[in-house]
Amino acid sequence: MGMQTVCGSMMTCSMGAAPSSLLVLPINFDITVSMPAAIIYDHVPFLNVLPFGMCSSMANPMVLAATIAAFGVLTPMPCLPMTMSPWVPGCPTVHIQNKPALNNSSILNCMWQGVIQIGFPGEVTTMVP
């Protein structure tokens, strides 16, 4: 069983250089003690998912352009998360406001080929399947 993910959870991206935190709007005060609980639809770039420092994915047009300008030397550029789909798989049996809850084993895909994972869920007392 995974742990319930809440606002302030620490995330990492496979193409990012630094960790980031998950922001959840304060409307989901279910399950957890003091922090808004996350759902699988908390995936909006710059609202829920903040940048991960520098991006090193060649699928990112800014990184590609900078690398070409540097004659093929990989040149990371600032991260601009492009998360278009919800977290998967989520918790199909636990719902918060009729939407599947987010646990720490879910992943989120970035359009620039990064895989975003929850490092620390922010909640260590509530387990969800």
Count of residues in the chain: 129
Eight-class DSSP state of 33: S
Instruction: Give 60-117 pLDDT, tens digit per residue.
Output: 999 999 999 999 999 999 999 999 999 999 888 888 888 999 999 999 999 999 999 9
pLDDT for 20 equals 97
Order of strands across the sheet that contains 115-120: 20-21, 10-13, 115-120, 107-109
Residue 125 burial (CB count, 10 A):
9
**1-52+80-124 maps to which CATH number?**
2.60.200
Instruction: Give 26-70 pLDDT, tens digit per residue.
Output: 875 565 567 888 999 999 999 999 999 999 999 999 999 999 999
The two tokens of residue 45 are 């770039």
pLDDT for 125 equals 79
pTM here? 0.91
- Gap between the Cα atoms of 21 and 56, Å rounded: 19
Q: What is the mean pLDDT of residues 15-30?
A: 86
**Whether the Cβ atoms of residue 5 and residue 123 lie closer than 8 Å to each other:** yes
